[in-house]
Amino acid sequence: MRRVCLAWLLICLFLTGCSMESLDRKVVFTTGFSDDEVFRIEDSSCSLSEAMFYLVNTQKGYEKTFGKEIWAATTDDGTVEDRLKDSVLAKVAQIKAMNLLATENGIELDEKEASKASQDAQDYYAALSEEDIKEMSGITLEEVENIYREQAVADKLYDYIIRDINPEISDDEARTITVEQILIKTYTLDESGAKVPYSSREKDNAYMRSREILKKILNEESSFEELMAQYNEADEGTISFGKGDMESEYDTAAFNLGTEQVSGIVETSEGYVIIKCISTFNREETEANKVKIVEERKREVFGAQYDAFVATLTKELNEKLWDSITLLDN
């Protein structure tokens, strides 16, 4: 569970505030590396075999989930292979930085924790084939044990930093409601997919359509569901969300509705929307939202301390060696 939480934390941090961007701004490219040294952060170094450990295991995870054809795909930021390498580099760099921060805070593994990390590493290494070891640039048991220890220290540091976060969230704070909506858009999309706002005349026409729909609802000429099926231009008709998840105008209107009540016309950045409240309290969604709120608070607390620390570190990347690494399909 702890490893899963740490893995998810790393993904979230590198997709949000605590990203590799903060590391990139201070990277200094140098030629003073050993032949198998990928990067340094202060006096902490990452070897080629260590980087390959993460890269190979992540590659296998991608292939298990998506199949080997995933490597033929591209993204807006390059190939999937490029994105995998970026994420692996970010992950290893963060673990190294977290271990430096742990040292600064006097955090280290106790005898039991160190023993468990060592045993887990030995179990993992014993299951590797000769081909696996070769694929990871001849990684040794000692290197794998060090990787497992660093992961355990990073996990312990995270627990230490977020130790004061209150895990108890009230129902009111996490309350999630379910609504139906009819959206009449006030924009179109150009060839590149970018939003192009309606002209004043087009926007007035959209508002008049919304008024006609609301009139039919209030006069009970048609049910909300029938009109939603006919006119709604949103991707979804029925949605569940918590406070603060939507635009403020939408949020305020929706949370002021009772069950089965219908709002007036609400103007948002997407267009004009009419909202019908289906449930003022969704227990299942509310419980899930409590977990989300706690995790967000943990990321914020950890991120603030981590970012401030990383900004003080010296980082050096062996760009030539890292760029020479490519994925194999065998």
Quick one: three-class SS letters along 128-143?
A: CCHHHHHHCCCCCHHH
d(CA 41, CA 266) in angstroms, rounded, equals 51
Residue 172 confidence (pLDDT): 85
Joined tokens for residue 32: 């003073």
Joined tokens for residue 117: 């990390």
pLDDT for 199-228, tens place per residue? 999 999 999 999 999 999 999 999 999 999
**What band does 69 get if pLDDT is binned at 50, 70 and 90?**
confident
242, β-bridge pairs: 176
Q: How much is the average pLDDT of 248-262?
A: 95
Please give the domain boundaries of the chain with CATH numbers for all domains: 2-166+288-324 (1.10.4030), 176-280 (3.10.50.40)
The per-residue pLDDT of the chain, averaged, comes to 88
In order of 5, 225, 264, 293, the CA distances from 176 in angstroms are: 24, 21, 21, 12
Question: Residue 277 pLDDT > 60, yes or no?
Answer: yes
The share of the chain scoring above pLDDT 70, in percent, equals: 90
- Under DSSP, the state recorded for 246 is S
Joined tokens for residue 214: 């609301």
d(CA 300, CA 47) in angstroms, rounded, equals 31
> Among the listed ranges 69-73, 123-127, 254-258, 307-311, which one has the minimum average pLDDT value?
69-73
d(CA 242, CA 285) in angstroms, rounded, equals 9
Q: Would you say the pTM of this structure is higher than 0.75?
A: no
Residue 76 confidence (pLDDT): 77
**What band does 75 get if pLDDT is binned at 50, 70 and 90?**
confident
Residue 329 confidence (pLDDT): 65
CB 280 within 8 A of CB 216: no
Residue 191 confidence (pLDDT): 86
Question: Residue 177 pLDDT > 80, yes or no?
Answer: yes
Q: Looking at per-residue confidence, does 4 or 325 come out higher?
A: 325
pLDDT for 27-36, tens place per residue? 444 457 888 9
Single-letter residue type at 117 = A
d(CA 197, CA 192) in angstroms, rounded, equals 14
Residue 6 confidence (pLDDT): 44
**CA of residue 314 relative to chain centroid, distance:** 26
Question: Residue 13 pLDDT > 80, yes or no?
Answer: no
Residue 78 confidence (pLDDT): 79
Q: Which residues contact 186 (CB under 8 A, 6 or more apart)?
A: 197, 198, 202, 203, 206, 270, 271, 272
CB atoms within 10 A of CB 60: 12
Residue 251: its H or E element: helix 248-255
